[in-house]
């Protein structure tokens, strides 16, 4: 099978360890592209909504909350995957599994609840939830359960997402 030169086969970079690499460039290119592309709806809906009025603005901001709920759920899913892999490998006890799976499910529930409350409540609750998930993710990176580049990516995307949600809220 032919090898493609664009695939980095360096074991150190495959695990996410790129000591001394700059903050942004330590993030694998596909993760940068997909991550930043996923931030476009946050920015577009929050800024675009500011130029709309009435029902159109409400629809833009509800769409922003709905998208935020989906992405918050996705962040929880990352922790579900981490937990089941660690448990399956026998690396953790039942207590860890309860905590890790709890962390993975709560974001989905919060996201769903933000769809049921007024926008004036849903937008800041989502912003706070993204901030909380960032702190959890950075702790997970610190404990070496996620690669360091993931923490870098999460910081960049969280700043964009939280700023967008708060801009729409104000």
Q: Among 24-28, 59-63, 107-111, which stretch is predicted with the lowest mean pLDDT?
A: 24-28
Q: Which two structure tokens, joined as six digits, stand for 148?
A: 């360091």
The arithmetic mean of pLDDT across residues 57-65, rounded, is: 97
Judge whether residue 4 has pLDDT over 80: no
Burial degree of 126 (CB within 10 A; 0-12, 13-18, 19+) = buried
Give how far Cα 63 sits from Cα of 30, 93, 106, Å: 26, 40, 21
Residue 33 burial (CB count, 10 A): 11
pLDDT at 14: 43
The arithmetic mean of pLDDT across residues 81-107, rounded, is: 86
pLDDT at 8: 41
């Amino acid at each position: 099978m032919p090898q493609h030169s664009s695939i980095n086969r360096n074991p150190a970079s495959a695990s996410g360890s790129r000591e001394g690499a700059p903050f942004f460039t330590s993030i694998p290119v596909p993760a940068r592209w997909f991550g930043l592309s996923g931030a476009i709806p946050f920015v577009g809906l929050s800024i675009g909504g500011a130029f709309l009025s009435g029902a159109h603005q409400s629809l833009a901001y509800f769409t922003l909350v709905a998208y935020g709920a989906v992405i918050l759920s996705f962040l929880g899913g990352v922790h579900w995957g981490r937990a089941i892999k660690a448990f399956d490998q026998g690396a953790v006890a039942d207590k860890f599994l309860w905590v890790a799976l709890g962390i993975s499910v709560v974001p989905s529930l919060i996201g769903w609840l933000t769809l049921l409350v007024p926008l004036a409540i849903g937008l800041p609750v989502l912003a706070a939830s993204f901030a909380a998930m960032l702190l959890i993710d950075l702790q997970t990176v610190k404990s070496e359960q996620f690669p360091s580049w993931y923490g870098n990516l999460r910081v960049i995307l969280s700043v964009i997402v939280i700023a967008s949600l708060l801009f729409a809220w104000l």
